[in-house]
Structure 1
């Protein structure tokens, strides 16, 4: 895990840079602030190493000429078009019932934002201090946005390892309606006999892969399914359409799309 990063900022944003450096320092990440004259595309191309940067749009992750942050504002168009009937994820997670939902694989938070927009009360769990801080900054900005405010207000961020958090909820006998799992690296357990050529990874995913390098089978999320089943009436797993089942646990309850599917696991003994 990345434990030290450089943070680039123009003089105008030095106070914001100091704030982010202090927050990340409390979360175990050493940040060295470097003031620069102009934080533009040319500067980023000439500084290819993974770094953070601060500008008028907040905190970003950068490398190889690319910048990335959770783009909740960029989701506004999708949110305006979204409905309980049109979104497969909404049907899979039964969002019509306004569930209490734990997203245990936060990523950039886009799925959680959509589900919160449609009425779910979401606990978003992330263990990586840098990604968590990016999510935290994005949520604060969303709360100031008229379109995003209501959805952002229904999201609670938790800085924790998901396995630890789910185990803690189980020890407290806390039952939730849904646990949602979307593992970061599903391509490694793809059904090789049916797999087709994969499209090039999006830029934001390229940066996430640099920040969160694969470090073994834990990245596939197999260990999260049994933990989630202890506390959730319904566990929903997002998979590439042709991928094998998470943890090898099959289910007949599926919602199928062109590129992905949602597998659902029900715990009827928790529906009391």
Structure 2
């Protein structure tokens, strides 16, 4: 895990950068602020190492000439088009019932945003201090948007390891309506050669993969599924369409799309 990082900023955003520096320090990441004359595309190309950037758009992650943040405002057109009937994830997660939902594999938070728009009360779990801080900044900025402001109030960010969080709920015998899993590295467990020939990962995901290197089976989500089934009325796993089942457990129901599918596991001891 990254424990030390540069943070590039211009003079006019120094105070903002110092705030990010303080927050990340409390989360175990040493950030060294470097003032630059112009934080633009040329500068990023000339400084390809992984770093953070702070400007009028907030906090960014940069590397190899690319920059990334959980740009929740860019999701607004899709969110406005979304409906319970049009979104497969809504049927899989039973969002018409406005469930309490844990998203245990945060990513950039886009699925959580969509589920919150469609009625879920979402607890979004992230263990990586840098990604959590990026998500936290995205949520803070979204509160000022007329459309997103109401949506993000239905998302609670929790800085925790998902396995530890789910285990604690299990020990406390607490239940939630839905736990949602979208493992970061599903390509490692696909058993069909054709599936491995994927298109180039989007720039945002390239940087996310650089920040979150594979570090064991937890990235496959197998153990998360075991824990989630203990504390959830329903567990929904997003998978590439041809990927094997998570933890080799056959789902109780599936929703199939062209590129992905949703596998659902129901808690037989709970009457829905």
Q: What's the TM-score bracket when you normalise by the shorter of the two chains?
A: over 0.9
Indicate the residue corresponding to 1:119 in structure 2: 119
Indicate the residue corresponding to 1:203 in structure 2: 203
Is 2:14 the partner of 1:20? no
Q: Using the alignment, how far apart are the partners of 2:209 and 2:80 within structure 1?
A: 30
Is this contact kept in 2: 1:175–1:270, CA < 8 A? Answer: no
Deviation of the 1:227 alpha carbon: 0.2
Instruction: Flag structure 2 segments of 5+ consecutive residues without an equivalent.
Output: none
Deviations 1:104-135 (A, max 9, x none): 00000000000001110000000000000000
Q: Using the alignment, how far apart are the partners of 2:209 and 2:88 within structure 1?
A: 26
State the TM-score, normalized to the length of structure 2: 0.98
Q: Using the alignment, how far apart are the partners of 2:107 and 2:251 within structure 1?
A: 25
State the TM-score, normalized to the length of structure 1: 0.98
Find runs of 4+ consecutive structure 1 residues off by over 3 angstroms: none
Is this contact kept in 1: 2:186–2:239, CA < 8 A? Answer: yes
SS at match of 1:271: coil
Q: Using the alignment, how far apart are the partners of 2:20 and 2:214 within structure 1?
A: 26
Is 2:44 the partner of 1:44? yes
SS at match of 2:195: coil
SS at match of 1:270: coil
**Residues 72-151 of structure 1: pairs in structure 2 closer than 5 A:** 72-151=72-151
Q: How many residues end up aligned between the 2 structures? A: 272
Deviation of the 1:195 alpha carbon: 2.2
Superposition RMSD on alpha carbons, in Å? 1.0
Instruction: Flag structure 1 segments of 5+ consecutive residues without an equivalent.
Output: none
Deviations 1:183-234 (A, max 9, x none): 0000111122552621001100110111001112221111100100010000
Of residues 196-205 and 256-265 in structure 1, the stretch that sits farther from structure 2 once superposed is: 196-205
Q: Using the alignment, how far apart are the partners of 1:160 and 1:201 within structure 2?
A: 27
Is this contact kept in 1: 2:176–2:231, CA < 8 A? Answer: yes
Indicate the residue corresponding to 1:246 in structure 2: 246
Q: Using the alignment, how far apart are the partners of 1:260 and 1:125 within structure 2?
A: 22
Q: Using the alignment, how far apart are the partners of 2:268 and 2:143 within structure 1?
A: 36
